[in-house]
Copies of this chain bind each other. A is one copy, B any other.
């Protein structure tokens, strides 16, 4: 039996993040920072922050109250600003909020904070719904 809030897929398992909250126009993704997320300087790799934002923002626009209906989307554009840093042992939460859009395109903004609420990153994304799932 699988946890419905745990994203299935290679990259989610690889990085170790999980979907912690998901509702209409909102998603939270969490990650425990480990050695594997660090860059050559021993600092959290920017790609981790971008990946968390991409995931949380993407989920924020594809919630469906009906578990039979799966909505998918592609990222068109993602912007990440690296405001702070994070150390091994901390827990990061990426929050994504859908801010607008229509049947084909949606816009989200979000942020990544550590367990004490400090801002680690912020970002915005533009997404395109796949197939007929954007209706």
Contact = CB atoms under 8 A, between A and B. Distances in A.
Contacts of A109: 81, 109, 122
Contact of A82 (B52, B78, B122): B78
Given A122-B109, A123-B124, A13 B40 contact: no
Interface size class of A (residues with CB under 8 A): 35 or more
Contacts of A83: 99-101, 107
A76 interface: yes
A77 B126 contact: yes
A80 B78 contact: yes
A20 interface: no
Contacts of A30: none
